[in-house]
Amino acid sequence: MLVVDYRSERLSRLRSLLSVLTYPLQALASLPVDLSHSFADTVISFVELQKENRRLKEQQFVNDAKLLKLAALEKENTRLRMLLENSFQLGEQVLVAELVSVKLAPYEHTVVVNKGTRFGVHAEQPVLDANGIVGQVIRALPSSSEVMLITDPDHAIPVQVNRNGLRTIAFGTGQPNRLHLPFLANNADVVPGDLLVTSGLGGVFPAGYPVAVVDKFEARPDKSFANIYATPKADLEKSREFLIVWSHSTPVVLGEPGKPPADAQDGRESANGAP
Amino acid sequence: MARLDVLAGTYFVVTVAAAMVLRVMSLFPAMDIFNPDWVALVLIYWAIALPERFGVFSAWTVGLLADVLTGRLLGQYALIYALICYFSINEHRRLRQFPIVQQCLWVFFCLLGSQCVTFGLESMRAGNRLQLEFWYPVLSATVAWPLVFMVLRYIRVMARIV
């Protein structure tokens, strides 16, 4: 039975069926924490609310200004891509999911969110929060799904350095808020403070989302690879709301409608920002 | 007699459900690594107290639910709980006579076995990593056993389940 579950998808129906029984238990276990949060929301003071409101308004203002520029840039990008005749865009759609406060296994960085296959969630979907990549869906059940965080020791995510497009892989360490980049040479052009973004390779994570900031570069003269650590951008410990993303990896052609699509492989490579 | 069956069954289901809730509850995130396997403790108690009612099969079923609850491979906890239950039922006459400290020792070895099986399966699935945190639940379960034993015996005596 263990082997069958490991090797094939045949038992997933049984798992969904049993999850109908176990989801209420998870919801019950999450109740005290949820209640304390809603209580904290209810008794927040007027002054604090005012402060938060002002802060959010300022942020909204700044974001609006950025968005204006972004729209112009996007237009320009599309125009340039059309000139190159390999133009396409990635359509993306998101769903907000809330954290269910349960701990599945203490030594794993896996969380449960309250949206499942009933909302069309499926395995291997990327999960974000407002600041960056959080992880990916590893199993979708009818009314909940399990999300593996990028800090899980079994997790690896393809990234590139935003400054110079250097590609590598970031591994989780098992410690909260720490990523490890073991495959960069000692003379690699990485300095603390560099932003790592998803490279889009591997097909799970869409390209260009912030993942982490490099905080330690440790050259090891006796080894061929350096020891590099990074801190995730996303608030993995504190976020209670996540975005589950549907990214259509099939390119959508933007050129003239009658024209046959340009070489898709070519297009994908240029979209990943290869230098 | 039939009434007693229903009663015992109800109490079994309720206590196991409560144990499952405790299992995944995360009130103090710092204490999560010490959270013992409450479901196993409750199953051991019922296996000792009422071996003629709850056997290996009920433990297996509960284990299957625990697998779904904690997102393991289907059958992992089913196997572990069935094994624990089998040995506890085999030894239930002796275990009932044991003082509580000796029972704790039994629980310790049961949970150690369970953790070993878990570790074997997980390292089969994905890489080998043996951390100190992996063994904390065994110790905390041993410490928690007297509490579970007292509470469940109180419930059983109150409900007059024999």
Cβ of B126 within 8 Å of Cβ of A110? The answer is no
Cβ of residue A160 closer than 8 Å to a chain B Cβ: no
pLDDT at A230: 92
User: What average pLDDT score do residues A100-123 get?
Assistant: 80
Mean per-residue pLDDT of chain A: 79
Most confident of A80-89, A163-172, A239-248: A163-172
User: What average pLDDT score do residues A174-188 get?
Assistant: 85
Cβ of A107 within 8 Å of Cβ of B133? The answer is yes
A225: distance to nearest CA of chain B, Å? 21
Amino acid residing at B102 = Q
Cβ of residue A21 closer than 8 Å to a chain B Cβ: yes
Most confident of A15-19, B57-61, B131-135: B57-61
The residue in chain A having the minimum alpha-carbon distance to the alpha carbon of residue B27 is A33
pTM for this prediction: 0.74
Cβ of B131 within 8 Å of Cβ of A19? The answer is no
Cβ of residue A110 closer than 8 Å to a chain B Cβ: yes
User: What average pLDDT score do residues A237-258 get?
Assistant: 66
User: What average pLDDT score do residues A100-125 get?
Assistant: 81
Closest residue by Cα to residue B85 from B124, B118, B59:
B59
Cβ of residue A25 closer than 8 Å to a chain B Cβ: yes
The tens digit of pLDDT for each residue in B18-50 reads 988 888 887 777 777 788 889 999 999 999 888
In contact, A22 and B69? CB cutoff 8 Å: yes
**Range with the lowest mean pLDDT among A49-53, B5-9, B63-67?**
B5-9
The residue in chain B having the minimum alpha-carbon distance to the alpha carbon of residue A12 is B74
pLDDT at B23: 83
Q: How many residue pairs from chains A and B have C-beta atoms closer than 8 A?
A: 84
Cβ of residue A37 closer than 8 Å to a chain B Cβ: no
A81: distance to nearest CA of chain B, Å? 42
Sequence-distant (≥ 6) Cβ neighbours of residue B127 within 8 angstroms: A153, A154
Cβ of B78 within 8 Å of Cβ of A102? The answer is no
**Range with the lowest mean pLDDT among A140-144, A174-178, B89-93?**
A174-178
Cβ of residue B61 closer than 8 Å to a chain A Cβ: no
pLDDT at A187: 85
The angle, 0 to 180 degrees and rounded to 10, between the axes of the packed helices B2-24 and B136-159 is: 150
| Rounded Cα gap, residues A90 and B116, in angstroms | 46
pLDDT at B42: 92
**Range with the lowest mean pLDDT among A230-239, B22-31, B112-121?**
B22-31
Q: A194-220: string of b/e by CB count within 10 Å (b at 16+)?
A: bbbbbbbbeebbbbebbbbbbeebeee
Mean per-residue pLDDT of chain B: 85
The tens digit of pLDDT for each residue in A8-53 reads 677 777 888 888 888 888 888 888 888 888 888 788 778 888 999 9
A211: distance to nearest CA of chain B, Å? 24
What percent of chain A stands above pLDDT 70? 81
Model ipTM value: 0.73
* pLDDT higher than threshold 60 for residue A3: yes
Cβ of A102 within 8 Å of Cβ of B65? The answer is no
* pLDDT higher than threshold 50 for residue A262: no
Please give, one letter per residue, the 3-state secondary structure of A38-70: HHHHHCCCHHHHHHHHHHHHHHHHHHHHHHHHH
Cβ of A105 within 8 Å of Cβ of B70? The answer is yes
Cβ of A19 within 8 Å of Cβ of B68? The answer is yes
- Full domain range(s) for residue B127: 2-159
Q: What angle do CA B68, A174, A115 make, to 5 degrees?
A: 40
Which residues from chain B sit within 8 angstroms of residue A107, using beta carbons? 33, 131, 133-134
pLDDT at B126: 59
In contact, A14 and B68? CB cutoff 8 Å: no
Closest residue by Cα to residue B69 from A77, A231, A27:
A27
Amino acid residing at A180 = H
* Residue with tokens 């549907």, as numbered in its chain: A246
Mark which residues 200-259 of A lie under 8 Å from B by CB.
none
The residue in chain B having the minimum alpha-carbon distance to the alpha carbon of residue A148 is B71
Tokens of A178: 């720490």
| Rounded Cα gap, residues A121 and A96, in angstroms | 11
Phi, psi dihedral angles at B88 (to 5 degrees): -65, -40
The residue in chain B having the minimum alpha-carbon distance to the alpha carbon of residue A145 is B71
Give the confidence band of B81 by pLDDT, cuts at 50, 70, 90: very high
Tokens of A168: 């590598």
| Rounded Cα gap, residues A22 and B26, in angstroms | 16
**Range with the lowest mean pLDDT among A182-191, A256-265, B132-141?**
A256-265
Domains of chain A: 2-43+91-149 (2.40.10.340), 156-233 (2.40.10.350)
In DSSP terms, A213 is beta-bridged to: A195, A231
**8-state DSSP, B132:** G
Number of domains into which chain B is organized: 1
More confident site: A169 or B160: A169
Sequence-distant (≥ 6) Cβ neighbours of residue A110 within 8 angstroms: A104, A138, A146, A147, A148, A149, A152, B71
Cβ of residue A153 closer than 8 Å to a chain B Cβ: yes
Cβ of B75 within 8 Å of Cβ of A101? The answer is no
Cβ of B131 within 8 Å of Cβ of A107? The answer is yes
3-state secondary structure of A202: coil
| CATH number reported for the structural domain that contains residue B21 in this entry | 1.10.1760
* Residue with tokens 């729209």, as numbered in its chain: A71
Cβ of residue A20 closer than 8 Å to a chain B Cβ: no
In contact, A130 and A139? CB cutoff 8 Å: no
A112: distance to nearest CA of chain B, Å? 10
* pLDDT higher than threshold 70 for residue B125: no
Mark which residues 128-147 of B lie under 8 Å from A by CB.
129, 131, 133-134, 136-137
